[in-house]
Chain A
Amino acid sequence: MSNRVFAAAAFAIALAIAAASQLITNEFFFSAAYTVLLYVILATAWNILGGYTGYVNFGSAAFFAIGAYTTVALFYAFKAPLFVTIPAGTAVAGLAGLGLGYLTLRLRGVFFAIASLALAVVLFTFVVNWDFVGGARGAYVMQPAEVPFGLKRYIHLLFAIQVLLAATALVIARAIETSTFGRGLAAIRDDELAAESAGVPTLKLKIISATVSGALMGMAGTTFPYYLSYIEPSSAFSLSYAVNSIAMPLIGGMMSWMGPLIGAVLLGTVQQLVQVTISSAWNLLIVGVLLVLFVTLAPNGIMGWVEAWRQRQKNR
């Protein structure tokens, strides 16, 4: 399937889902589905650098929060609407990815990983001390009273936007995967030294990959302040975003765009259920345990099983 056909199909499906969701009357569905889709975007974005390029980013929460706080800052400063803040937040997070990548991707991969964690803490401290966006007290971003497109409630609009953003992330991920750029990334992942010797401009590709990945993570955060109407630093920078965006691609499988999607939908749905039925601390424990189990016992994730099964069918 060519990328153009895939993109058309993805957006058609996204619009269909957004339209069909209007038949659903259960309001919990929208907030749960919004969160699961948020994880689809985060996991897909993480996988561009993590799965395709082989560099671990522990700072997903930082990029996510950059998106969220760009929305807050623009809203406070200019009452900027979502169609402005979404691209703005995406761009700022992309710039952060570019900067972090430029500074640390020349070093061994582990330094990038540690620096990404460092970025999360530095930005957290910065936001806590930044009074314009509410500092440690948090900021209120009221959902507009009027909902466009004849939708019933604002969360319906957020859900529809989130479906489209998730489709965008998946289209970008798949386009990267099938391009020369993506093959360059795979070469870096498999053997960076060999790639460099073969003439792959490794540093440039890594930095572009970090930029795209960071931008998409930021995109996931841009609608978040509206979703809660209230945002505070410790929820925006929550470690659970970092853990989930690593766990989901690992569990789904890191080699293709489908892995993070499967991982995010599965793990995200399970978490929504556990959060309602048991407690949110337990649901984090489950994510952590699943992450460790999969990474030790099934390093290629669910897609790895599918792949192995296909191979066996072929050889039969």
Chain B
Amino acid sequence: MEISTALLLNAIIAGLLLGGFYAAVSVGISISFGMLDVVNIAHPGFIILGSYIAYIVNTHFGVDPIAVSLLLSPLFFLLGMALYRVYYLCFEKRGQESLRGLAFFFGILFITEVALILIFGVDYRTVKTAYADTTLRLGVVDFPLRLVVPFLVSMAMVVGIQLFLTHTFFGRAVLAVAQDQLALRLMGVNPVRIKELAFALSIATAGVAGAFLIVIQPVEPSIGREYIGLVFAVCVLGGMGSIWGTLLGAFVLGLAESFTSTFFGPSWAPAVSFGLLLFALAFRPAGLFGR
């Protein structure tokens, strides 16, 4: 097959734009799994929940889905706080997080999926936005706005989280939870409280990522599963709990998927993230950019 420059350039740009979206999808896992050691496999479930909430508000009131998700992110924050409370009391406190905690989150993922199927059915849902059908062209390269807008908002969100984590007391406390909980206690900080808020932040990013998702592509309840491998692949590739690493991991995955669908066909794309994940776990578990 002859590879033209235009095709190659388009694949690269599409991959980078997709990678920006993947960063928003996985930044929450980098916080909860990478920093707090809470293996929240239900994360994609909350992403799909975010998609459906954006969908409902968009169809009824015509509000832009991304604006909706940002406005409603406090709700996801509260949901995350409640979820962590349950998780802490039932599993972390008793030291049972490794097996039963995992099963718990798996159950939560499954319940959100089945509940959404019962309410909305398995049809694909879409949203209407002012920019969805516009594509900018620079020379031979396409910039579809339905990818560009989520990309830009996602970059703002990820950079914002990184600045927040490194420049505020709370943020540094979150980073400290990952390293030494006892030391944190001695500083007069309650690590459980810090974890609760940080976990809530991770769920809030899931809600926003859900709005991006439904802007980018039609959504049905069970596509959340495809993102489980993706979020963990990005997190592991990025070196667990480093926000810049997450960003790089997301771009690597975005490019890999874009190249796979361009040159091998889209039906192979889902295997890319999981394949990379298996590869990373087997040969480089510290991640590409791990410490």
Contact = CB atoms under 8 A, between A and B. Distances in A.
Interface string B88-119: 00100000101110111011101101110110
Contacts of A125: 267-268, 270-271, 274
Nearest to A112: B281
A266 interface: no
A109 B97 CA distance: 11
Contacts of A129: 267-268
Nearest to B265: A129
Interface string B43-85: 0000000000000000000000000000000000000000000
A56 B103 contact: yes
Contacts of B107: 243, 247, 288-289, 291-292, 295
Contact of A103 (B98, B106, B282): B282
Given A122-B275, A129-B267, A246-B103, A115 B281 contact: yes
B277 interface: yes
Given A126-B271, A129-B268, A250-B103, A121 B281 contact: no
B81 to A, nearest CB: 17
A50 B106 CA distance: 14
Interface in B210-249: 222, 225-226, 228-229, 232-233, 236
The winner among A113, A128, A136, A247 for most chain B CB atoms within 10 A is: A113
A170 B285 CA distance: 35
A110 interface: yes
Interface residues of A, number: 43
Interface in A98-151: 103-104, 107, 109-111, 113-115, 117-119, 121-122, 124-126, 128-129, 136
A281 interface: yes
A56 B102 contact: yes
B282 A110 contact: no
Interface string A274-300: 000000011011011101100110010
B281 A107 contact: yes
Interface in B252-291: 267-268, 270-271, 274-275, 277-278, 281-282, 285
Contacts of B277: 114-115, 118
A136 B102 CA distance: 31
Contact of B98 (A54, A119, A282, A289): A54
- Leading 8 A-B pairs by shortest Cβ distance: A125-B271, A118-B274, A292-B107, A291-B107, A103-B282, A288-B110, A288-B111, A296-B90
Interface of B: 39, 41, 86, 90, 96, 98-100, 102-104, 106-108, 110-111, 113-115, 117-118, 222, 225-226, 228-229, 232-233, 236, 267-268, 270-271, 274-275, 277-278, 281-282, 285
Given A119-B278, A281-B118, 7 more contacts: A55-B99, A114-B281, A115-B281, A125-B268, A285-B115, A291-B103, A295-B107
